[in-house]
Each structure stands twice: as C-alpha cells, then as structure tokens.
Amino acid sequence: MAQVYDRVALIGLGLIASSLFWAMKRGGLAGEVTGYARSDETRATAREIGLCDRVCDSAAEAVKGADLVVLCVPVGVMGAVAAEIAPHLAPGATVTDVGSVKADVIAQVGPHLPEGVHFIPAHPLAGTEHSGPRSGFAELFDNRWCLLVPVEGTDKDAIARLRALWEGAGANVEEMDAEHHDLVLAVTSHAPHLIAYTMVGVADDLRRVTDSEVIKYSAAGFRDFTRIAASDPTMWRDVFLTNKDATLEILGRFTEELFALQRAIRTGDGDHLHAYFTRTRAIRRGIIEAGQDTDAPDFGRGARKS
C-alpha cells in the first residue's frame, strides 16, 4: 500500500485512534503520525507503548503541518476541540472525525474551520467494549464499514484521499448524508445500546435475583447485554444527547413493537410470536452472509477474545 498522507494528527488517543495508528503503520499509509490527548496519563501511556511517532502536549502542536487531522474525542466536545485547533491548521488540510453522530458534529465543527480546509466527517463502524490507548489493534477495521459523510461542495480529491486511507486500513467505505446516517445508526447501534443499558439496569434493580445469580447464570443473551453496557459512558451520554430526534423516533417504534409482543404473550397468540421470530431470525442470517459476524455457536463455553 502506498502512503496517503505525509502527516496525520490524532486528537484523542482511545480505541479508535490507537487502532487507526496501528493500521496506518501496518499499511505504510502515513509518513508521520502525531497525537494529543487531554489527559497527562494518556499521553504518558501513549509514549510508553509507542503509540504515535510523536506525542504532543497540546492539540495546536499536534495539528501543525498535518495534512490530515482526525478528531477522536467524544461528540459532545468536538466543537470546542475544533475551535482550539482551527488557527493552527495548515492550508489545504483535511479535518475528519470518527464520531457516532454526524449532523450534530457537522453543526459543531464546520463553523470553526477556516476557508481552504476540507471537512469530511466520517464514522468507522467498528469497536469493542474496551477503551483507552492500550485497547487498539491494527485489525479493528478489517472488513468493517467506514461511512464518509461529506458536506455539499466538498473537494472530490480530498474525499478520494480519505477513502484511500480507510480502505488501506482494511475498511469498506461508503458515502451517506448526515441525517440518513443518524437514523441508520439509531437503529443499528444507539437504540440497541440504550436497551442493553436498560436490561442490565433492570437486573440490578431486581433484588430478588442476587448478584451472584445474575453473574453465575448469565446465558448468552444477558451476557451480551452486559458487554454492550460496558461501553464508555461519556461517549454514550454524548451520543444520546446529540442524536436525540432519531433515537427517540426508533425508541417509539420499539415501544410499539414491544407492546404488540406483550399482547401476543398475554393472549397466547403463538402464531404472531412464531411469525415475528421467523422474520427477525432472517436478519441474523443476512448479517452473517454479509461477512459482519460468524454463525459459530458461542454460549460462553469457548475462549472469548478479551
């Protein structure tokens, strides 16, 4: 793979940024990678493990001379970070992000960026429940999707270059508009996370079921809820506050479906339940056929990747 950018700056050094760094190194996609994190401890850890070619003590220093700047911070602070780095961006540079919400990020970041800087929001659909600079690995994006959400009038060459970086990191790349992205993610990620948090919270409230029983008898369903609910709380708080409308729309539809299932159970309508479960089972087959998961059975018996 050929080098795509001379210098890439990573602002925020968590799971996605660290994985992107290792993927860029694996593919020889960037000449130099600088990094900055707000926490002294995170910067010290990054230096210790060799994360980034140069770890800087300010965001301004990190972005100086970079032809690509990647904002890897919670969506709630994107605007503040953009305002901080804007005066220090090189003319012709591209600014992108990895946030799970796009319309709000565009509204927050766009107004701060100077003329001549390309802004191409992006969202790699990859992750684990782990966070922090040590959690990254080069293979995170392999055969996962990265959605680019360029605003109208964005330079085509700048988009093609960012696409080449993500493809070089192993991802499949597609373009999408911001509102559609936010609705799709409300269905595929945001609402499921909220439901998982709720289910784990219900188990915690149900004092008749002791803690040891919840842990000891966790079958795959509840165990997977707890895996999702272990995700970074700051990130998810910001996601729900910034993708409010789409999430509420999907939760409304979910509530309607849940009421219909409650009624089927109450009235003993086995046909309704069987038909519903048959239809939803087909979705799972589609995910497997798309190469986004495996159909290997796992009921907590085999070794799981930590």
pLDDT at 206 over 80: no
pLDDT at 13 over 60: yes
The model's pLDDT over 251-285, given as tens digits with 9 standing for 90+, comes to 999 999 999 999 999 999 999 999 999 999 888 88
Domain segments of the chain as ranges: 5-176, 180-267
Average pLDDT for 177-181: 96
Residue 58 DSSP label:
S
Who wins on pLDDT, 291 or 117? 117
| Range ranked top by mean pLDDT from 163-167, 230-234, 292-296 | 163-167
Nearest to 82 by CA among 96, 100, 92, 67: 96
pLDDT of amino acid 306: 38
Question: What kind of architecture, by CATH, is found in domain 5-176?
Answer: 3-Layer(aba) Sandwich (3.40)
What's the CA gap between 166 and 24, in Å, rounded? 9
* Per-residue tokens: 5: 């950018």
* pTM greater than the 0.85 cutoff: yes
- Considering the chain, what is the average pLDDT of its residues? 91
The model's pLDDT over 97-137, given as tens digits with 9 standing for 90+, comes to 999 999 999 999 999 999 999 999 999 999 887 889 999 99
What's the CA gap between 61 and 9, in Å, rounded? 9
Average pLDDT for 74-95: 97
Q: What does each C-alpha distance from 303 to 98, 297, 300, 306 come to in angstroms?
A: 30, 12, 8, 9
pLDDT of amino acid 303: 43
pLDDT of amino acid 232: 84
pLDDT band at 207 (very low <50, low <70, confident <90, very high): low
pLDDT of amino acid 301: 42
DSSP per residue over 77-125, as a string?
Answer: GHHHHHHHHGGGPPTT-EEEE--S--HHHHHHHGGGSPTT-EE--EEEE
Q: Which residue has the tokens 């479960």?
A: 277
pLDDT band at 304 (very low <50, low <70, confident <90, very high): very low
The model's pLDDT over 39-83, given as tens digits with 9 standing for 90+, comes to 999 999 999 999 999 999 999 999 999 999 999 999 999 999 999
CATH of 180-267, one of 1.10.10.10, 1.20.1740.10, 1.10.3660.10, 3.30.420.40: 1.10.3660.10
CB atoms under 10 Å from CB of 223, counted, come to 15
